[in-house]
Amino acid sequence: MTVNLLDLDGESLTAWFAEQGEKPFRAKQVLRWIHRSGVADFDAMTDIAKSLREKLKARAVVAPPAVVSDKLSGDGTRKFLIDVGNGNAVETVFIPEDDRGTLCISTQAGCALDCAFCSTGKQGFNRNLTVAEIIGQLWQANHALGAVHGSERVISNVVLMGMGEPLANFDNAVTALKLMLDDNAYGLSRRRVTVSTSGLVPNIDRLGDACPVALAVSLHAPNDKLRDQIVPINQKYPLKELMAACRRYLDKAPRDFITFEYIMLDGINDSDAHARELLTLVKNVHCKLNLIPFNPFPGSPFRRSPADRVRSFAEILMGAGVVTTTRKTRGDDIDAACGQLAGQIADKTKRTVGRVIPLMEARS
């Protein structure tokens, strides 16, 4: 069977090489060619013996998912649509800032968790992305941004904050994370790789053990009654358990805070009373809060909170000493959204949507 080497992290590549009768240092060389130099063609791996190259050609491929469109926004944000087969596509977004470049990666085609305000959730769940499809987004973005063959690093941060719930595709997400951190692959700092989750409590613990990276938790409501409605996974893992998991995670995390994401929905979760309730909820978790202006999509019953409401809400939090930021909208001229856009290459909603979801901002 032909193996796609993009599916393997350093450890499993070494094991696979051993099965082929090859030494670990050969695996390391090939890992570097694939991920650091962005090479997919074994013949271009010039310091690998011809006999090994022939063996690799017979047994393996380096097959990233195809980029089917690549759009550049006026503000430098760049959006890639990645073909994952059967008419499905996911999105990857590059967000350049003065001091960093952040790539937002998808982990599933669709999402099963059905949050009330999320158009990815409304598309339903299609399937988990493979490791090659997850890490392939980084591989392809590096190519498109000219960041291969020893040139300087363009992508300094990665957020698993595109389409899907990363902790519901746990094994593949963790294998991809390990490649992101591996010095022989992408060599990113743990502090600059962020997983965003809607709160799969057992897998928050597992992530802390398997591959601790920065954590963002999509909170969106300050009490169970409301959160049960807008983030249905809360019915399974209520806030008390989620907060406890966040505290446990902090013992293992590379950063000393959790980022709580809070989408601002007009008249739903954005009152001063909600802000005060939120303060009580998070008082025992060292955290930062990121307020996200809601972006409507066809058929969604919600509206974005007015800017002065967001400001008042933020002031209450900051007044109590909680670092609070409001996410900027970027790349909206190209519909560069939090992976909320096309679930399919031929996406019907896209024709009717003037403007979809704003892009997530990296926080680190």
Among ligand SAH, ligand SF4, none, partner that 67 touches (CB below 5 to 8 angstroms by kind): none
49-57, 65-73, 191-199, 274-282 -> range binding ligand SAH (CB under 6 A): 191-199
Give the tokens for residue 345: 């290459």
Catalytic site includes residue 287: no
Catalytic site includes residue 91: yes
Angle between helix 24-31 and 10-19 (nearest 10): 130
Query: Please, are residues 90 and 82 in contact by the beta-carbon 8 Å criterion?
Result: yes
Instruction: Tell me: does residue 213 bind ligand SAH (CB under 6 A).
Output: no
Instruction: Tell me: does residue 13 bind ligand SAH (CB under 6 A).
Output: no
For residue 178, CA distances in Å to 69, 92, 94, 106, 157 come to 27, 19, 20, 16, 14
Give Cβ neighbours of residue 21 (< 8 Å, ≥ 6 apart). none
Give the tokens for residue 212: 């601790």
Determine the Cα–Cα distance for residues 362 and 251; give it in Å rounded to an integer: 22
Among ligand SF4, ligand SAH, none, partner that 128 touches (CB below 5 to 8 angstroms by kind): none
Please state, as a whole number, how many other Cβ atoms lie within 10 Å of the Cβ of residue 133. 28
Q: Give the nearer residue to ligand SAH in terms of CB position, either 60 or 105.
A: 105
Q: How far is the CB of 263 from ligand SAH (least distance, A)?
A: 5
Q: How far is the CB of 118 from ligand SF4 (least distance, A)?
A: 3
Among 117, 170, 237, 260, binds ligand SAH (CB under 6 A): 117
Instruction: Tell me: does residue 137 bind ligand SAH (CB under 6 A).
Output: no
Q: How far is the CB of 98 from ligand SAH (least distance, A)?
A: 23
The mark string for 71-110 relative to ligand SAH (x by CB under 6 A, - otherwise) is ----------------------------------------
Among 292, 314, 322, 359, binds ligand SAH (CB under 6 A): 292
The mark string for 310-329 relative to ligand SAH (x by CB under 6 A, - otherwise) is --------------------
Q: Give the nearer residue to ligand SAH in terms of CB position, either 18 or 307.
A: 307
Query: Please, are residues 239 and 279 in contact by the beta-carbon 8 Å criterion?
Result: no
Q: What does residue 278 show for φ and ψ, rounded to 5 degrees?
A: -65, -40
For 91, the 3-state DSSP assignment is strand
- For 36-68, letters b (16+ CB in 10 Å) and e give bebbbebeebeebeeebbebbeeebebbbbebe
Among ligand SF4, ligand SAH, none, partner that 182 touches (CB below 5 to 8 angstroms by kind): none
Q: How far is the CB of 135 from ligand SAH (least distance, A)?
A: 17
Closest residue to ligand SF4, Cβ-based? 121
Q: Give the nearer residue to ligand SAH in terms of CB position, either 197 or 349.
A: 197
Which amino acid is it at 180? M
Please state, as a whole number, how many other Cβ atoms lie within 10 Å of the Cβ of residue 97. 14
Among ligand SF4, ligand SAH, none, partner that 249 touches (CB below 5 to 8 angstroms by kind): none
Among 13, 93, 105, 161, binds ligand SAH (CB under 6 A): 161
Match 């082929």 to its residue by tokens.
20
Adjacent-strand bridge partners of 160 = 105, 195
Active-site option among 91, 165, 261, 361: 91
Active-site option among 133, 287, 338, 361: 338
Determine the Cα–Cα distance for residues 317 and 167; give it in Å rounded to an integer: 28
Alpha-carbon dihedral angle through residues 301, 267, 281, 111, given to the nearest 10 degrees: 10
Among ligand SF4, ligand SAH, none, partner that 94 touches (CB below 5 to 8 angstroms by kind): none
Give the tokens for residue 355: 């403007």
Q: Which residues bind ligand SF4 (CB under 6 A)?
A: 111, 113-115, 118, 120-121, 164-165, 198, 218
| Contacts to ligand SAH by CB under 6 A | 117-118, 161, 165, 196-198, 218, 261, 263, 292, 294-295, 338, 340, 357, 360
Please identify every residue annotated as catalytic.
91, 338
